[in-house]
Amino acid sequence: MSVNFAEVVKLLENASAFDLYRVTVAIQHMLDDPKRMLAVKRNLRVGQEIEYFDSKQNAPVKARLLECNKTRVLVQNLADGKRWNLPYYWLNVEQTETVIDTSRGKGLQRHEIGVGDILGFVASRDGLERYGKVLRLNPKTVTLDCKTEVWKVSYSVLFKVINAEAGMPEDDPYLIQGSLFPPQ
């Protein structure tokens, strides 16, 4: 069964803090269900390359499975080599899409952005478009490395850069040339 997370988020937008807490408790009980853990364990083999979801970066992370225990797994992050002891439910064994798109037409939502994404915005001080790599997700802003400057930008003015790598010159990986306006 596939869950439409955008619909779930939309449904919970108007829930009270207490209602959200009750949903959290119910979900935690489901996550701790031994039957669910067993279903995940059946798909795992030591040495296997897996993916887990890092909520701080709001992005999937590639790792190698080192050890399976009763309720947790030991993995090694492929990018930095760090080892992490994670609960089974963090593992994306079904390769489910992790982006939750609830766009309302203006800007982006925090859950739509991950650390390392390339985003754009129009700077209010000079009206020029800028592009940068996400360094950090803050409660109200995103910290972007725009090559020459680091910017804190409101989520409401951000836009995704589509196929950023195709138009990036090698000497300036955050500047996009030719991808927004075709040559004439």
Show me where the domains of the chain are located: 5-90, 110-167
As a dihedral over the C-alpha atoms of residue 3, residue 6, residue 7, residue 8, rounded to 10 degrees, the angle is 70
Q: Please determine, for residue 13, whether its predicted confidence score (pLDDT) is greater than 90.
A: no
Same fold, 5-90 and 110-167: yes
> CA 53: distance to chain centroid?
8
Looking at residue 10, what is its pLDDT? 82
Looking at residue 139, what is its pLDDT? 87
pLDDT, tens only, 37-67 = 999 999 899 999 999 988 888 788 999 999 9
pLDDT, tens only, 68-94 = 999 999 999 999 999 999 999 999 988
Q: Please determine, for residue 166, whether its predicted confidence score (pLDDT) is greater than 70.
A: no
Q: Choose the CATH number for 5-90 among 2.30.30.140, 3.90.1150.10, 3.40.1280.10, 3.40.720.10.
A: 2.30.30.140
Structure tokens at 38: 């067993």
Looking at residue 165, what is its pLDDT? 52
Looking at residue 183, what is its pLDDT? 37
The pLDDT-based confidence of 102 (bands split at 50, 70, 90) is low
Residues 52, 140: Cα–Cα separation, whole Å: 25
Please report, rounded to a whole number, the percentage of residues in the chain having pLDDT higher than 90.
Answer: 43
CATH class of 110-167: mainly beta
- Written in H, E and C, the secondary structure of the chain is CCCCHHHHHHHHCCCCHHHHHHHHHHHHHHHCCHHHHHHHHCCCCCCCEEEEEECCCCEEEEEEEEEECCCEEEEEECCCCCEEEEEHHHECCCCCCCCCCCCCCCCCCHHHCCCCCEEEEECCCCCCEEEEEEEEECCCEEEEECCCCEEEEEHHHCEECCCHHHHCCCCCCCCCCCCCCCCC
Overall average pLDDT of the 147-154 stretch = 90
Looking at residue 182, what is its pLDDT? 33
The pLDDT-based confidence of 103 (bands split at 50, 70, 90) is low
Q: Tell me how far CA of residue 167 lies from CA of 34, 161, 162, 173, in angstroms.
A: 48, 10, 10, 9
Q: Assess contact for 116 and 123: CB atoms under 8 A.
A: no
pLDDT, tens only, 106-122 = 778 877 888 999 999 88
